[in-house]
Amino acid sequence: MNAMNEAISKIGVVPVIKLSDPERDAAPLAKALCAGGVPVAEVTFRAAGADQAIRLMREAVPEMIVGAGTVTETSQIDAVLAAGGQFVVTPGFDPELVAYAQEKNIPIYPGCTTPTDYHAALKFGLEVLKFFPAEQSGGLAKIKAMSAPFPQFKVMPTGGISLKNLGEYLRSPIVAACGGSYMVTADLIEGGKWDEITALCKKSRDIVEEARRG
C-alpha cells in the first residue's frame, strides 16, 4: 500500500465528521481525536464549510491526517487541496472524480459495494476502497465474498460501524480501517464533550490493537 493507505491502516479507525460550526469546533475536536490516539479525520461536505474545517484542524494539529468525505464534484477536490486536505472520499464510484483526484495527486477512496464498482476501481489502480454503506450492503460477509474475485483490494467499511462490531471488521485481513461517526456524534461535538470523544477514541484504539493482535 502507498504511504497514506499505510498510515490510515495503522490507525485503524477514521472518524467521519460533520461540523456545523467549524470556527468553534474544528480545533478542539482535532486535539480531542489526537489525544485519544486517532490522528485522522474525514470531514464531510454534507455541511457547509467543510474546507474551512479541514484547514482549521490541520492548523491546530499539523501532524494530523485530515481529508474530506461526501465529495461529489471536482470543485470540492480543488477546495480540499486549497485547505490542505490530504485525501478525499466519495459516496459512490465516479470515474471522473477518481481521474481528477489522481491527476491532482491526492488519494481517493470511492464508495464501492458491487462487482461493477470493484471492476471499475481495478482499472484505476486503486488499492483501498470505501465499502459504503457497510452494514446495509451486507457487512463483513459481502466484503469477504467480494474479495474472492478481487483479492487486490483492501476496504474501509463505513456505515453502521460502532464499538460493538469494530473488532469483528478489523479482524478481517481485507479491512484496512473502519470509518465511523459514533465517536463524533452531533451531541458530543455541539456539547463540547471533548473528553468523551477522547475516551471513545481510546476505546476504539484498544479494539484496533486487540483485533490486530488476534
Question: What values do phi and psi take at 202, rounded to 5?
Answer: -65, -40
Dmax of the chain from CA atoms? 46
Q: Which residues pair with 15 in a beta bridge?
A: 180
Task: Render 68-135 in DSSP notation, one character per residue.
Answer: EES--SHHHHHHHHHHT---EEESS--HHHHHHHHHTT--EEEB--SHHHHHHHHHTT-SEEEE-STG
State the first-to-last Cα distance of the chain, in angstroms, to the nearest integer.
Answer: 22
Question: Which residues are known to be catalytic?
Answer: 42, 130
Cα–Cα distance for residue pair 206/130, rounded to 1 Å = 23
Cα–Cα distance for residue pair 10/17, rounded to 1 Å = 20
Answer for the pair 177, 159: CB distance below 8 angstroms, yes or no.
no
Amino acid identity, position 60? A
Peptide bond into 95 cis (omega under 30): no
Answer for the pair 74, 46: CB distance below 8 angstroms, yes or no.
no
